[in-house]
């Protein structure tokens, strides 16, 4: 029996590791390579109906730091370790009609791997709801197993798209209603971590029929300016805009968001994303309730793998399997969510003395 097999949102995964919607899943060639390497599933780079044109410069940078000179920079220095990715890449520039035959071929070639199509349209009118339905029908018709609704892209100017709409529970409900009326596959909803109403947004999505919440997309952020050159480390004609931070740097913050959702909706499914680069990070998402794990930056950073994490998926599966054998676990369900009851209110944590009153010492 395959101990790594997981059933998530009604889908059977050969292992719980999935490449997140991003450059590793931007083309048929890369997705086929990822499946050959052993990934349990992929979420495609987000597919939309409107053509996109990216900035005239690098779309992604990888920021590193080091023990000797511990500042964060993309600049090459010896002995550095990965800190984060920063990107301002838009959704897929491949149009829907080119994606469809590719998706069909991928699913036919790897029927046992889960193919999840990430889609995005706008909001605020019947025309945009029809766009969501159109995208959903098209990708399901060619065999996609599930859909992930992108309500989280952090760098959209349009106020009715991406991360902007995750603040509006009515819009979340109306998009889910539209998509659910069009297709009959599990719908995952990818939310932005950059909102104070994340738990309510997740609640609205679950209530409206989302099978799972995918968390987190990148965190809105800026690249650094070099003090000597006085240039941003990535810019076009001296200008930059808010982009998204991913990779190890966001791990603890992503875990907090997943824990918040898991505490509010213990029975709600969560696909955990943000800073996974090995077993330890994946483990941490699982103990906060994630039943599925998505990876982007670490796969992109792996040299010689074409940016799809060939060694990474081998390590992730080997290390998870070893761990489960050592602990006598027969599935990730045996330790999923075990951290839930240990995340408590500040006041519930023992004090050195009992003179605690909401953060102040009574006698102070």
Ligand X SMILES: Cc1cc2nc3c(=O)[nH]c(=O)nc-3n(C[C@H](O)[C@H](O)[C@H](O)COP(=O)(O)O)c2cc1C
The whole-angstrom separation of Cα 343 and Cα 225 is 37
* Residues in Cβ contact with 29 at an 8 Å cutoff, skipping those fewer than 6 apart: none
Asked if residue 118 lies in contact with residue 144, where contact means CB atoms within 8 angstroms, the answer is: no
Q: Which is nearer to ligand X, 73 or 150 (CB)?
A: 150
Cα 72 to the center of its chain, rounded Å: 23
H-helix segments, 14-88: 28-37
Bridging pattern class, strands 11-13 and 6-8? antiparallel
DSSP string across 231-292: -BSS-BTTB---EEEESGGGHHHHHHHHHHHHHH-TTSEEEEESS--SHHHHHHHHHTT-SE
Looking up tokens 């906060």, which residue turns up? Answer: 288
Q: Which is nearer to ligand X, 49 or 353 (CB)?
A: 49
The whole-angstrom separation of Cα 142 and Cα 134 is 13
Q: Which is nearer to ligand X, 27 or 331 (CB)?
A: 27
Asked if residue 151 lies in contact with residue 161, where contact means CB atoms within 8 angstroms, the answer is: no
The whole-angstrom separation of Cα 130 and Cα 110 is 30
Supply the minimum distance, in Å, between the C-beta of residue 38 and ligand X. 17
Among all residues, which ones are annotated catalytic? 153
Q: Which one, of 188, 207, 55, lies nearest residue 120 by Cα?
A: 188
Supply the minimum distance, in Å, between the C-beta of residue 329 and ligand X. 24
- When CB distances to ligand X are compared, the closest residue is 246
Which parts of this chain interact with ligand X (CB under 6 A)? 20-23, 45-46, 60, 85, 87, 89, 91, 118, 150, 152-153, 190, 217-218, 246-247, 250, 273-276, 295-298
Looking up tokens 């982009």, which residue turns up? Answer: 243
Q: Which is nearer to ligand X, 250 or 313 (CB)?
A: 250
Q: Which is nearer to ligand X, 193 or 345 (CB)?
A: 193
The whole-angstrom separation of Cα 116 and Cα 144 is 6
Supply the minimum distance, in Å, between the C-beta of residue 348 and ligand X. 31
Supply the minimum distance, in Å, between the C-beta of residue 274 and ligand X. 5
Supply the minimum distance, in Å, between the C-beta of residue 332 and ligand X. 18
Supply the minimum distance, in Å, between the C-beta of residue 194 and ligand X. 12
Q: Which is nearer to ligand X, 290 or 344 (CB)?
A: 290
């Amino acid at each position: 029996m395959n101990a790594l097999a997981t059933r998530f949102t009604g889908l059977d995964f050969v292992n719980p590791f999935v490449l997140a919607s991003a450059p590793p899943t931007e083309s048929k060639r890369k997705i086929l390579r990822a499946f050959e390497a052993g990934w349990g599933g992929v979420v495609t780079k987000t597919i939309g109906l409107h053509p996109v044109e990216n900035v005239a410069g690098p779309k992604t940078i990888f920021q590193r730091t080091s023990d000797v000179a511990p500042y964060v920079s993309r600049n090459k220095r010896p002995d550095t370790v990965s800190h984060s990715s920063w990107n301002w890449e838009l959704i897929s520039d491949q149009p829907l009609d080119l994606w469809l035959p590719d998706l069909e071929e991928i699913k036919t070639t790897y029927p046992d791997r889960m193919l999840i199509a990430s889609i995005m349209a706008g909001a605020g009118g019947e025309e945009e709801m029809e766009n969501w339905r159109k995208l959903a029908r098209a990708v399901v018709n060619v065999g996609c197993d599930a859909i992930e609704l992108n309500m989280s892209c952090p760098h959209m100017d349009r106020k009715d798209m991406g991360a902007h709409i995750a603040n509006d529970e009515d819009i979340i409900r109306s998009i889910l209603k539209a998509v659910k009326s069009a297709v009959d596959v599990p719908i995952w909803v990818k939310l932005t971590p950059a909102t104070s109403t994340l738990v309510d947004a997740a609640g609205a999505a679950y209530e409206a029929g989302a099978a799972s919440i995918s968390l987190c997309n990148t965190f809105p952020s800026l690249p650094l300016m070099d003090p000597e050159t006085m240039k941003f480390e990535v810019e076009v004609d001296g200008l930059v805009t808010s982009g998204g931070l991913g990779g190890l740097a966001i791990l603890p913050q992503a875990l907090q968001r997943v824990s918040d959702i898991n505490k509010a909706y213990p029975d709600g499914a969560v696909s955990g994303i943000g800073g996974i680069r090995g077993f330890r990070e994946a483990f941490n998402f699982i103990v906060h309730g994630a039943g599925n794990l998505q990876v982007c930056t670490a796969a992109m950073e792996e040299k010689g793998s074409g940016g799809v994490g060939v060694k990474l998926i081998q390590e992730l599966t080997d290390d998870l399997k070893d761990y489960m054998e050592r602990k006598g676990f027969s599935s990730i369900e045996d330790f999923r969510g075990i951290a839930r009851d240990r995340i408590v209110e500040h006041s519930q944590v023992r004090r050195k003395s009992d003179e605690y009153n909401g953060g102040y010492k009574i006698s102070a």
